[in-house]
């Protein structure tokens, strides 16, 4: 239960038999709800109808709140995309919800984006100089405008997308809908996930494989880093031109620690297995005498199971989770965050009373949530609470779509492990050792810059990023 805002989730589907895909987008987005609970939306079109017949709806709220039955009943099409959002750039307002839908000289374009660019300022300034007016404050709109501008001078939309992607620096998983094509693009580093599936004669693009399962689609493969796939009446076409732009790969390690759903497989690595391995490495690095291992629901539970398996200490559930309360970190003030913890979780007193507890969580950002949980356990009669964290200490901000706060808000950047242990009221504290991360993630090349400060690409000056020029919204 980290105090981190998650990444976004994208979904796209094209049914070549002409069947309506609106309900499939709804179910796909519902399965990706864990990636963004702030806003959502979908856009659909009929490839047999006139160009520009796009219907879309988006707003702040959960999928079930925004995409209600009466709204979906008015929408139909055989091609469409959807998005669930947490803001990493741009304010939390309805205008910034996605997909972004544009009408321009070549017809229509809809785009959904997971990730964050580091050269947004330069790309936006280029557009402003040519007269562009922005309706949102997101980098996603910048991408969409560049695609539309490129399309005017290219023979096909794929070429326009490719030309735009060459300019992008940062992390992105994109799904783009043109009147007759569905396109998916993944950044050359592979920072953001994207996969391809098939159901009968319909092709599906999604941030995670769990979304394919939810609509009855078979997982075909991951979109490769730097790959663009185009789905049209001719089938699936692949272009890997972007892959040659970089020499390394850097998959976001936090997908395996926290972001991705437990039943997903990303780049050949099962998320559940990765979290079990993380827990086992914690038990090897920081053994302790205790009576029960438990995890913070939900993401801390698999790592706790791994800790239990390696240590031999019994695993058990110490908390009851109220599934109808939103995640704590979406609350705007610290006081509201703290009160939400008590609403969301309650301690099973009979399980913890008189016992030494190992409490496993995925991360510590500010430290307030874990401190509340430790206090709740001890108030319920736990004799000791030993905290084990299945990630290294956060020491650096993320620029690629994970809303890790600035250094002055990161508790580990300001205090030693011993100091943090005292501050949160734990009897001992152990973090995942950074050398174990590659093994935890199945040996794939990873980005762990939020832990070691070694970013896979050059990062612009942080002050320049924060002091971006004003855009007048209309």
Provide the residue count of the chain.
474
CB 411 within 8 A of CB 365: yes
Report d(CA 192, CA 250) in Å as an integer: 9
Whole-number Cα distances in Å, 332 to 166, 360, 433: 37, 26, 32
- How open is the CA angle 255-264-270, to the nearest 5 degrees? 80
**8 is a catalytic site residue:** yes
Q: Which residues, other chains included, contact 87 with Cβ-Cβ below 8 Å and sequence gap of 6+?
A: 5, 38, 96, 403
Which residue matches tokens 């969580």?
361
How far from the centroid of its chain's Cα atoms is residue 322's Cα? 23
Whole-number Cα distances in Å, 259 to 97, 143, 217, 262, 263: 20, 24, 22, 9, 12
- CB count in 10 Å sphere of residue 326: 12
Region for residue 90 given its phi and psi (left: phi exceeds 0; alpha: psi -120 to 50; beta: otherwise): left
- Among the listed residues 8, 40, 252, 398, the single catalytic one is 8
Q: Would you give the DSSP letter of residue 315?
A: B
Q: Which residues, other chains included, contact 473 with Cβ-Cβ below 8 Å and sequence gap of 6+?
A: 95, 134, 135, 136, 137
CB 372 within 8 A of CB 425: no
Which of helix, strand or coil describes residue 50? coil
Q: Is 79 exposed, middle or buried (0-12, 13-18, 19+ CB in 10 A)?
A: buried
CB 390 within 8 A of CB 279: yes
How far from the centroid of its chain's Cα atoms is residue 429's Cα? 27
| 170: its two tokens | 């940062």
| 378: its two tokens | 């001890």
Count of CA atoms in the C-beta half-sphere (13 A) of 25: 37
CB 424 within 8 A of CB 412: no
DSSP string of 235-265, one letter each residue: EEEEE-GGGGG-S---EETHIIIIIS-TT-E
Strand partners, 251: 446
Give the residue numbers annotated as catalytic, written as ranges.
8
């Amino acid at each position: 239960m980290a105090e981190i805002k998650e990444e976004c989730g994208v979904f796209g589907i094209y049914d070549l038999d002409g069947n309506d895909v609106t309900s499939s987008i709804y179910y796909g987005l519902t399965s990706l709800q864990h990636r963004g609970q702030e806003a959502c939306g979908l856009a659909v079109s009929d490839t047999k109808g006139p160009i520009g017949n796009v219907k879309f709806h988006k707003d702040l709220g959960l999928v079930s709140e925004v995409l209600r039955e009466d709204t979906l009943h008015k929408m139909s099409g055989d091609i469409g995309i959807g998005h669930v959002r947490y803001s990493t750039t741009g304010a939390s307002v309805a205008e910034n919800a996605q997909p972004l839908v544009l009408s321009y000289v070549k017809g229509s374009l809809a785009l959904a984006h997971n990730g964050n660019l580091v050269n947004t300022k330069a790309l936006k300034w280029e557009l402003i100089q040519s007269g562009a007016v922005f309706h949102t404050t997101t980098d996603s709109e910048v991408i969409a405008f560049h695609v539309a501008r490129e399309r005017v001078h290219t023979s096909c939309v794929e070429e326009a997308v490719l030309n735009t992607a060459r300019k992008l620096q940062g992390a992105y998983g994109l799904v783009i809908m043109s009147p007759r094509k569905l396109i998916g693009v993944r950044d050359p580093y592979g920072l953001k996930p994207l996969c391809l599936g098939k159901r009968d004669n319909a092709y599906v693009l999604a941030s995670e494989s769990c979304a394919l399962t939810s609509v009855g689609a078979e997982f075909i493969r991951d979109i490769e880093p730097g790959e663009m796939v185009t789905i049209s009446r001719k089938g699936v076409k692949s272009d890997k031109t972007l892959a040659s732009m970089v020499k390394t790969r850097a998959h976001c390690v936090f997908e395996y620690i926290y972001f991705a759903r437990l039943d997903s497989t990303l780049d050949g690595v099962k998320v559940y297995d990765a979290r079990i391995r993380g827990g086992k490495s914690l038990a090897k690095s920081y053994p302790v005498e205790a009576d029960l291992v438990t995890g913070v629901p939900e993401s801390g539970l698999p790592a706790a199971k791994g800790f239990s398996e390696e240590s031999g200490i019994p695993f058990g559930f110490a908390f009851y989770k109220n599934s109808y309360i939103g995640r704590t970190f979406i609350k705007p003030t610290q006081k509201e965050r703290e009160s939400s913890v008590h609403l969301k979780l309650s301690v099973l007193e009979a399980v913890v009373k008189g016992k030494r507890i190992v409490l496993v969580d995925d991360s510590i950002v500010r430290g307030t949530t874990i401190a509340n949980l430790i206090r709740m356990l001890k108030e319920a009669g736990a004799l000791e609470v030993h905290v084990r964290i299945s990630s290294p200490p956060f020491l650096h901000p993320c620029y690629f779509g994970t809303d890790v706060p600035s250094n002055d808000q990161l508790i580990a950047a300001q205090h030693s492990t011993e100091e943090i242990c005292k501050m949160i009221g734990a009897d001992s504290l152990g973090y995942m050792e950074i050398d174990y991360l590659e093994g935890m993630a199945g040996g794939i090349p990873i980005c762990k810059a939020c832990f070691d400060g070694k970013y896979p690409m050059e990062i612009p000056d942080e002050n320049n990023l924060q002091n971006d020029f004003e855009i007048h919204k209309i």
